[in-house]
């Protein structure tokens, strides 16, 4: 497929854009691609707080309230659209993939609807909508082009997302994502490492490898003749360790059923792999896990955690949990509490089960009453808050290395604290003192106190290292990546013949 980036006609530099993102890290990274596409087509990012000529909603469909949030926000733009017909609204992402033509029925003032598989079409669709003066809907049902072949306008000078796969082969009964993102397809290792190197060359210190089921990497490379390589993910982690200047590597989210000991060994043996693991549990009840089609059980999950901590004693482990899955009894919920107590998660992202049309779980008869779900949810939050606080208090007195961040946590004018992430992913608010510390710099300090969701380091800095990433942040320069020559899917188009000499 020929990239639509080259097909879109450049627009006036005066036209501005804004991308509003909902949902997971995949969507955050897709929004960087959308921004890159629009800037390549001649748009410029609207200043914070200013009205944009084009507003793009990159949507999520995982939670039931995602629909309400989108259409509520769209309705807020309706009066402006009515008063300024030249302003355009585009809706993309998972909810657009799911609702398709229904978006225009609910919000007829929307100009463009596009799906998860064709984000590269956005500039051309916007221009077509302007030219034809009618809404454009383009939803394709299969991936035509890796998103990583598209330009990206990165949000950070010091940390970057790198997609290693798209899609998911799991069939979890509560999840609509596989239906919207498609089957898993993996990028070749050399292409991934080339993107990482390009980012590091621009000063990036930390990358997060992204996949819907990141540790299944190796199941389906672009070349259908390439067999599955079960050791591919561990090998990729080790290869990241060989990139000079890459200080931190994270990945999200692995699936417990695919988690193998070679990944643990790679994490422990590769210095720039961070000692942190986000591994969704969802439920501690084997009966509920089976109903969810999660192909592991509680003891396997706990065994993985034990092996990770044996190899990396100070690793911070986080998780996802769902409360109130259809058929969940008090006994099932208590099993979840028991596993949470044993796991000692640094933090947990907890969700009340959301009934999503199109998923098998939505058709189950034994939906748990809302009041019961809420009561269980509150109990789970109370337990995890206690554990998080206990785990964070254990960090008091330890020395941490922080990658200084922008926009993390609430600002405190009285203390003038800044924020950063420790290598294990914990958020630390620290006092910079007289040192001119910038986001993207690296500091070390001693933890002086703790709260459930953050640590505090109010003593003097032990060290402060100015970095190229800090220089870039200070100058307002963010890395950009362009298509790295990655192939589209299917048979490549024939190349034109060349006669004579070519210099």
Query: Would you list which residues are annotated within the binding site for [4Fe-4S] cluster?
Result: 24, 60, 94, 168, 172, 175
Count of CA atoms in the C-beta half-sphere (13 A) of 57: 28
State how far the Cα of 195 lies from the Cα of 188, in Å rounded to an integer: 11
Q: How far is CA 486 from the centre of its chain?
A: 21
- Tokens found for residue 170: 């799991």
Strands 206-210 and 54-59: unpaired
Q: Which residue, among 279, 146, 144, has the nearest Cα to 214 in the 3D structure? A: 279
- Tokens found for residue 114: 């596009």
Q: How far is CA 334 from the centre of its chain?
A: 30
Sequence-distant (≥ 6) Cβ neighbours of residue 89 within 8 angstroms: 54, 55, 56, 57, 74, 77, 81, 107, 109, 110, 111, 112
Category of 327 on φ-ψ map: left (φ > 0), alpha (ψ -120 to 50) or beta: left
Place of tokens 């949990």: 321
State how far the Cα of 380 lies from the Cα of 343, in Å rounded to an integer: 13
Q: Where are the beta strands (DSSP E) in 412-452?
A: 418-422, 427-430, 442-446, 449-451
- Tokens found for residue 216: 């299944």
Q: Which residues are annotated as a binding site?
A: 24, 60, 94, 168, 172, 175
Q: Which DSSP state fits 241? A: T
């Amino acid at each position: 497929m020929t990239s639509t980036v080259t097909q879109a006609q450049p627009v006036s530099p005066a036209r501005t854009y804004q991308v509003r993102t909902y949902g997971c890290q995949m969507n955050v990274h897709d929004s960087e691609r959308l921004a890159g596409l629009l800037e390549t087509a001649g748009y410029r990012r609207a200043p914070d707080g200013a009205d944009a000529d084009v507003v793009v909603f990159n949507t999520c469909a995982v939670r039931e309230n995602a629909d309400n949030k989108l259409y509520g926000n769209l309705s807020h733009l309706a009066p402006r659209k009515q008063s300024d017909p030249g302003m355009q609204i585009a809706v993309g992402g998972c909810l657009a993939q799911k609702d398709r033509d229904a978006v225009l029925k609910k919000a007829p003032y929307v100009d463009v609807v596009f799906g998860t598989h064709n984000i590269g079409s956005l500039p051309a669709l916007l221009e077509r909508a302007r030219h034809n003066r009618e809404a454009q809907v383009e939803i394709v049902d299969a991936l035509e082009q890796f998103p990583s072949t598209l330009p990206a306008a990165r949000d950070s000078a010091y940390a970057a997302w790198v997609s290693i796969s798209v899609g998911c082969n799991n069939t979890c009964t509560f999840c609509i994502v596989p239906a919207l993102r498609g089957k898993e397809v993996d990028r070749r290792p050399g292409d991934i490492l080339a993107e990482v190197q390009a980012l590091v060359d621009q000063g990036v210190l930390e990358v997060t490898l992204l996949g819907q089921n990141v540790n299944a990497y190796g199941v389906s490379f672009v070349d259908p003749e390439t067999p599955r390589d079960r050791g591919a993910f561990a090998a990729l982690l080790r290869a990241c360790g060989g990139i000079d200047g890459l200080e931190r590597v994270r990945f999200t989210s692995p699936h417990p059923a695919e988690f193998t000991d070679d990944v643990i060994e790679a994490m422990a043996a590769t210095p720039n792999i961070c000692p942190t693991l986000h591994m969704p549990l969802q439920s501690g009840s084997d009966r509920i896990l089976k109903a969810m089609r999660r192909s592991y059980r509680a003891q396997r999950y706990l065994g993985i955690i034990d092996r990770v901590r044996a190899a990396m004693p100070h690793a911070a482990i986080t998780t996802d949990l769902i409360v109130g899955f259809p058929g969940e009894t008090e006994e099932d919920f208590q099993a979840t509490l028991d596993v949470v107590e044993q796991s000692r998660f640094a933090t947990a992202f907890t969700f009340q089960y959301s009934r999503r049309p199109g998923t098998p779980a939505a058709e189950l008869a034994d939906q748990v009453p809302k009041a019961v779900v809420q009561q269980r949810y509150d109990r789970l939050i109370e337990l995890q808050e206690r554990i998080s606080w206990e785990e964070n208090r254990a960090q008091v007195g330890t020395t941490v290395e922080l990658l200084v961040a922008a926009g993390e946590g609430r600002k405190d004018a009285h203390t003038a604290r800044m924020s950063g992430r420790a290598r294990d992913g914990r958020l630390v608010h620290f006092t910079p003192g007289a040192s001119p510390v910038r986001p993207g710099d690296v500091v070390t300090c001693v933890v002086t106190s703790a709260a459930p969701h953050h640590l505090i380091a109010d003593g003097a800095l032990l060290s402060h290292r100015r970095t190229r990433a800090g220089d870039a942040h200070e100058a307002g320069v963010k890395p950009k990546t362009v298509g790295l020559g990655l192939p589209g899917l299917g048979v490549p188009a024939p190349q034109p013949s060349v006669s004579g000499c070519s210099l």
